[in-house]
Structure 1
């Protein structure tokens, strides 16, 4: 039986379903058709191949007595052996004793018994005691100008004054150590500006996780920058005739390794800037001459073996120390970070990696405004064929990631501003441009996890608002961009409903509740009717296709199932929201699962104020979905869809945040920068500062 045929909403009428999917539940209290329709029950089209059975008689599924007490909870009542969970029982007890309950108290704070969330069925299980802060983590993609592309060229923008490398000009841009060097440089910059940052091992860089050298930096050049000073180091060890050969070899290696490390500290040298080749050379050249007092009776070949053993022990100690330094680099924790249980510790501090999805190499001269005097002649007159913008530079596609922060902490905005200013004040970073495909991704989480009901509400809200939200960003972000595809068109539910002939396997991601548990499916239909204004006209941006997708959303009985349903059907594609959540009714600690919603709609920028406005809108939607009662949620969606209330008012964010976006929309109704996506080559970089990337002014 086709899902679309069997479960598409139809005008009210007799509720009929195939016998094959009905599980009989004898009950003395029976509900007839009129009662069912009065309850607002979803009408389901029957399969013509089966004989219809009217809803009623022995098909009783709801208990009227419990419904009178708690209309909302009755939709979740199990048909057999009806048992209330502890919070639900407390809710009914409150009604019996006080005539009131805490049902309206659905705030994110679940720290006390009196203000706990009331669980509506098992799709919204009670959170652990404590705050339920909304967490945020930001991924900034950027295109950084590393150096001029050829040594014979002039600096393309000599008056800019920000960093450019000389030593990296001849280096291969695909060399993992080239990528690593720039990553390490960015981390050092963040640290100098007071941010807690770690040099983590990132597979995108191209080094094997077990390799040593994650702290090396080719910005120093191929020669060892510490070598001139290290040539003055003189190791020393006197052989102790009272000890065995093995003991002396161990002591000699230990003492001289301590001397080596101390020499670095005393002379202001960073050990990771001492090349491995220098260390190996010293083990061969310096250490053999530094062991004094060997018994002359020892044969020459034996002395060579002794010195070799000492050198190897010394190398092992130094390498172990280097490994410790690299491990320590990954253990930094920002004091403002929310250490969510189960989260990867790499998200406890600022980190950086490379992102090959950015395509500066695909930018052509026609994408720029190029004033006649903006391209300088080569420094070497023998160069007759000049590269054109942007190939006058070598570029590095970087991705800087923030720790997990509390959205409501005032320090979060200031920290984002500090990071953006550190990068823009130090480096030449390309202004936003459609063809480079840089994006800005925000991971939203909840300290106590997500519930299935919260995710269903958010998914519904996002699908209804998605077309409007797209206009807050540049048009190319939602038009054919495989890194932020609209969910209403690209999710697996949409593909299964409307494009299943392309790949029948996508139907596997549809919910199976109707076949496994028709009674629970009926409950979910009632739950959807309570939350979603299903009677909205199609003109209110609620077309039939969207109704069908949302109907499927409310039929999932696990978070993992819903996550699969909202994932893009095409491998390698990314939706505007990535559901990085797994679980049954509530997300928990699960290895390798971030348990976040990753919102990917926004174009890349280092304008912290711009990011904050968008972040605030998204968190407002999340908070509204989490904290609203069914009536508030339904009413909010209805008022916004019918334009009787603004989205800002519904979700509780300042009206001026939306006004800021509206003021910057182009004639096509999308956000646009002043240059209309044709960057002036005379000034192609974000200006210093943390705010507007063109003028640097903060209006927040």
Structure 2
């Protein structure tokens, strides 16, 4: 929470909310505008580790990156069940026993002390207490408790032999436990991850990083319903919000356990943390599509063509802001926001000239072959001229690398880099090169808004899986027939979204999910319908957090069945 000037103790803005809120951080002078500020670094480090631990405790294999600055007390947290136990009360229930024998050697007494450490560790485990929470002064208390249990030993020297070895061994065990914990945070591997050559080690398990673009800047007071008795002037400033990017490892589209892992991760985060309901401002979900056998140039051309044709309608599966001018920088249309798109049709002739270097440089014979190849797969004669010209040029490229460069982000009005809705991260000639950290041989889809609704995420993945299957495996006749059905939707004046989903021959459940009246708004007859949340993008400040679970973020009554 954010402590206001003059406040000694910050009152919880939502006292009835039982999910976690950090009291440790409220005293920190966090300057979110200064990324080099130590308090800010501590805040980011603390929040990131908290999320990783949360995933781990819910059996979601997660680990941290290895680029963090170390803080002495970062392993401490103020989750209720992670608070340091009251060791004086705990130790009243712990007892050990050993008969006194004056003939024992120092080694034998020390061995008994070591055995007592094992008994203490088992005692802690039975009471759900982790010895990682033991500090030096706590170890002294445990030693004193052992001394109390040996009150009937007449020789203090022998008792000291035992307790000194007990203290040494317990301190060593605690340190070993911390080392194991630190190793686990850095080296956990998710058995569901797909082992890919060149995969960044950070992506072998779930991970969490800060996303500075998730800042809530667009969430002004007018975006909230604030009751008169709760005089919050800027809700986004009542807390130190942490904009997190939760990253899954690469998983198989055909693995049911992978789908369940996404549900489990969403449930873990929403069930324990105060997650702001989906914001219309600046949050996005990115899906990376790849294959263990890599890509060839034809497959990429097919995918890009399908996307260019369907994108004007596909974006309506998501929130209205994803198609706004403001979001063009973050998920721009590939026919407009890429270097190729700008070279062909940007309104500014200077930008068209600057981007013209990316245009395909194929010979007349190569162009004839590419036209014939495209005609075997797609009939785009009825497509809007600008889209038709864009797709035709896509098919003229003779190498993957040249096509990838042409589909990189162009420049916006402020000469800043645009992130297209799909980002081709593949290099090669006719066949993709081996993946590496910079070019993982994937197509990144950035269209969907951010959410922790696992059902919504997985239904979107099903749509992308269909496009992927058509691009990679479909015979020419099938892809041509599918495109004709899609074109029927594109050429309609109403009900475009529904018809496109039917044209893609998606499962009925997926069609029903996206077309449910619960989450659609706007005039479908005019092609102006979008995904919308039940609050219609005005968040009730009395209930601003996502509901627990993995389904609808606004509660069970809005689940789509």
Aligned to 1:655: 508
* TM-score, reference length from structure 1: 0.60
1:213 and 1:563, CA in 2 relative to 1: closer, same or farther beyond 3 A? Answer: farther
Shift of 1:167: 0.9
1:604 and 1:534, CA in 2 relative to 1: closer, same or farther beyond 3 A? Answer: closer
Aligned to 2:386: 545
Shift of 1:388: 3.4
Aligned to 1:510: 359
Shift of 1:265: 6.7
Using the alignment, how far apart are the partners of 2:541 and 2:178 within structure 1? 44
Using the alignment, how far apart are the partners of 1:151 and 1:424 within structure 2? 30
Shift of 1:589: 2.3
Using the alignment, how far apart are the partners of 2:446 and 2:521 within structure 1? 21
Pick aligned residue for 1:457 from 264, 289, 302: 302
Using the alignment, how far apart are the partners of 2:194 and 2:467 within structure 1? 21
1:264 and 1:346, CA in 2 relative to 1: closer, same or farther beyond 3 A? Answer: farther
| Paired residue secondary structure (2:302) | helix
Using the alignment, how far apart are the partners of 2:86 and 2:357 within structure 1? 62
Using the alignment, how far apart are the partners of 2:465 and 2:309 within structure 1? 16
Using the alignment, how far apart are the partners of 1:682 and 1:454 within structure 2? 50
Using the alignment, how far apart are the partners of 2:361 and 2:244 within structure 1? 42
Cα deviation digits, residues 452-492 of structure 1 (max 9, x gap) = 11110010010000010011111111212121111121111
* Kept in 1: contact 2:409–2:420 (CA 8 A): yes
Structure index of larger Rg:
1
Shift of 1:148: 6.5
Using the alignment, how far apart are the partners of 1:670 and 1:387 within structure 2? 30
Shift of 1:387: 5.0
1:263 and 1:561, CA in 2 relative to 1: closer, same or farther beyond 3 A? Answer: farther
Aligned to 1:618: 464
Using the alignment, how far apart are the partners of 2:539 and 2:226 within structure 1? 9
Shift of 1:636: 1.6
Aligned to 1:477: 322
Which has the higher mean CA deviation after the structures are superposed, 160-169 or 650-659?
Answer: 650-659
| Paired residue secondary structure (1:573) | coil
1:361 and 1:646, CA in 2 relative to 1: closer, same or farther beyond 3 A? Answer: closer
Cα deviation digits, residues 287-335 of structure 1 (max 9, x gap) = xxxxxxxxxxxxxxxxxxxxxxxxxxxxxxx999978864553322222
Shift of 1:655: 3.0
Using the alignment, how far apart are the partners of 2:440 and 2:352 within structure 1? 29
| Paired residue secondary structure (2:286) | strand
Using the alignment, how far apart are the partners of 1:271 and 1:352 within structure 2? 26
1:453 and 1:320, CA in 2 relative to 1: closer, same or farther beyond 3 A? Answer: farther
1:534-683 aligned at under 5 Å gives the runs 534-535=380-381, 537=382, 542-570=383-411, 571-592=416-437, 593-643=439-489, 646-662=499-515, 663=517, 664-667=519-522, 668-683=528-543
Cα deviation digits, residues 256-309 of structure 1 (max 9, x gap) = xx99x999978778798789xx89xx9xxxxxxxxxxxxxxxxxxxxxxxxxxx
1:321 and 1:557, CA in 2 relative to 1: closer, same or farther beyond 3 A? Answer: farther
Using the alignment, how far apart are the partners of 1:198 and 1:456 within structure 2? 36
| Paired residue secondary structure (2:405) | helix
Aligned to 2:560: 699
| Paired residue secondary structure (1:623) | helix
Aligned to 1:402: 248
Using the alignment, how far apart are the partners of 1:198 and 1:331 within structure 2? 6
Which has the higher mean CA deviation after the structures are superposed, 411-420 or 607-616?
Answer: 411-420
Matching of residue 490 in structure 1 with residue 337 in structure 2: yes
* TM-score, reference length from structure 2: 0.74
Using the alignment, how far apart are the partners of 1:461 and 1:679 within structure 2? 36
Aligned to 1:187: 52
1:45-60 aligned at under 5 Å gives the runs none
* Kept in 2: contact 1:479–1:485 (CA 8 A): no
Pick aligned residue for 2:193 from 337, 340, 345: 337
Pick aligned residue for 1:690 from 527, 550, 557: 550
> Quick check: which one's helix share is greater?
2
Cα deviation digits, residues 38-59 of structure 1 (max 9, x gap) = xxxxxxxxxxxxxxxxxxxxxx
Shift of 1:686: 0.6
1:342-421 aligned at under 5 Å gives the runs 342-375=198-231, 387-421=233-267
Show structure 2 runs of 5+ residues with no match.
33-39, 92-113, 141-173, 493-497, 523-527
Aligned to 1:165: 22
* Kept in 2: contact 1:530–1:630 (CA 8 A): yes
Using the alignment, how far apart are the partners of 1:564 and 1:159 within structure 2? 53
Using the alignment, how far apart are the partners of 1:597 and 1:217 within structure 2? 39
| Paired residue secondary structure (2:245) | strand
1:66-105 aligned at under 5 Å gives the runs none
Shift of 1:411: 1.5
* Kept in 2: contact 1:640–1:647 (CA 8 A): yes
> Quick check: which one's strand share is greater?
1
Show structure 1 runs of 5+ residues with no match.
1-145, 233-257, 283-317, 376-385
Cα deviation digits, residues 136-165 of structure 1 (max 9, x gap) = xxxxxxxxxx67766533211111111011
1:523 and 1:227, CA in 2 relative to 1: closer, same or farther beyond 3 A? Answer: farther
Cα deviation digits, residues 63-86 of structure 1 (max 9, x gap) = xxxxxxxxxxxxxxxxxxxxxxxx
1:213 and 1:653, CA in 2 relative to 1: closer, same or farther beyond 3 A? Answer: farther
Cα deviation digits, residues 646-675 of structure 1 (max 9, x gap) = 444544421332332223321231111122
Cα deviation digits, residues 191-250 of structure 1 (max 9, x gap) = 11111111223x6xxx46xx68796446599xx969989xx9xxxxxxxxxxxxxxxxxx
Shift of 1:412: 2.0
1:590 and 1:446, CA in 2 relative to 1: closer, same or farther beyond 3 A? Answer: closer
Shift of 1:588: 3.6
Pick aligned residue for 2:64 from 199, 203, 220: 199
Using the alignment, how far apart are the partners of 2:340 and 2:286 within structure 1? 23
Aligned to 2:100: none
Cα deviation digits, residues 89-128 of structure 1 (max 9, x gap) = xxxxxxxxxxxxxxxxxxxxxxxxxxxxxxxxxxxxxxxx
1:265 and 1:366, CA in 2 relative to 1: closer, same or farther beyond 3 A? Answer: same
* Kept in 1: contact 2:486–2:504 (CA 8 A): no
* Kept in 2: contact 1:215–1:326 (CA 8 A): no
* Kept in 2: contact 1:443–1:597 (CA 8 A): yes
Shift of 1:503: 5.9
| Paired residue secondary structure (1:162) | coil
Using the alignment, how far apart are the partners of 2:78 and 2:300 within structure 1? 46
Aligned to 2:105: none
* Kept in 2: contact 1:216–1:272 (CA 8 A): no
Cα deviation digits, residues 171-195 of structure 1 (max 9, x gap) = 2435212211111111111111111
Equivalent residues, number? 465
Shift of 1:373: 3.3
* Kept in 2: contact 1:524–1:555 (CA 8 A): yes
1:245-284 aligned at under 5 Å gives the runs none
Aligned to 1:445: 290
